[in-house]
Amino acid sequence: MKAKVSGTKKKINGTTFLLMITILLFVVMYAAGMIVFNDKGFAKPQMFLNLFISNAGLLVIAMGETIVMITAGIDISVGSVTALVCMVAANQMENHGASAYTALLMALVIGLLFGLVQGFLVSYLEIQPFIVTLAGMFFGRGMTSIISTDMISIKNATFMAWAKYKIYMPFGSYSKRGKFLPAYIYPTVIIAIIVLIVMKYTKFGRSVYAIGGNEQSALMMGLNVKRTKMAAYLLDGFLAGLGGFLFCMNSCAGFVEQAKGLEMDAISAAVIGGTLLSGGVGTPFGTLFGVLIKGTISSLITTQGTLSSWWVRIVLSALLCFFIVLQSVFASLKKKN
């Protein structure tokens, strides 16, 4: 009985405790927004669903980021991959008559190619992930500008139908005139949730955790470390391509400066969600709440109306530092024990 209580306590003091802090932080922030900005509609169901609508692409990209970070790696090219995906999709549909299905396929291929090349360099040539993905970031942004330096707005009928299709919920709110307004989401949210569920229950994660926790131990267990790392970066690339396309469905355009800083948002969401920078620890569920916290900060500042949008970055960076310090404290305690 003592051993069981001790094991539970240890578990709560580690990964679970970090996740609990993240969830509690989100609940407190959103509850505060509902109280302070109740007169501006912050308490309406649609405001909550808007967090998912605005951040569906980021959520999918952050899922991939979480996987590579669990292996003790990192990918700072996802923002540039998103920009490249948006530009290629917009250019192909508007200037070359490609269909929306072709644009989606090209987005996934672009993501897989980035994952394949970067995964090979990291896993088989053992080059530092930061250097590899830094090169990928510059390459992606450069290729985006080569395709076009002007913004290309997407007007493809099929694509716009996808982007604007509303899925109505059985709940909602009432207008001042007493009219019932059902809440809604877009298909991007459904796709993001499906990705979250798949990532949560995949068996692939066991090998990733083992490698991130201790690579030498993973080798002794008979795990193929290089192949697993390669698979992690391939999955990361695929999700970056898919997430980039979902991001494009929100913006309905492609331009050079698009998704600038998105890689930092994805990394921040993963870290705030409990993913350790040293690897071996992290959950897709935690990353979800990391993304929701980022979205809540953005919504609070937008609803407030007078603060600069840069405050989103400022608050997010402060939270990131806070969670990194927490991770360091827990790592130190683990070593002592």
- In angstroms, the Cα distances linking 93 to 55, 99, 111, 152 are 24, 6, 18, 10
Return the pLDDT at 93: 96
**Which residue stretches of the chain have pLDDT < 70?**
1-14, 203-205, 334-335, 337
Return the pLDDT at 304: 86
pLDDT, tens digit (0-9, with 9 covering 90-100), for 165-213: 999 999 988 877 888 889 999 999 999 999 999 888 776 667 787 787 7
pLDDT, tens digit (0-9, with 9 covering 90-100), for 128-144: 999 999 999 999 999 99
Instruction: Tell me the DSSP string of 12-46.
Output: IIIIIHHHHHHHHHHHHHHHHHHHHTGGGTTTSHH
10 Å Cβ neighbour count for 146? 11
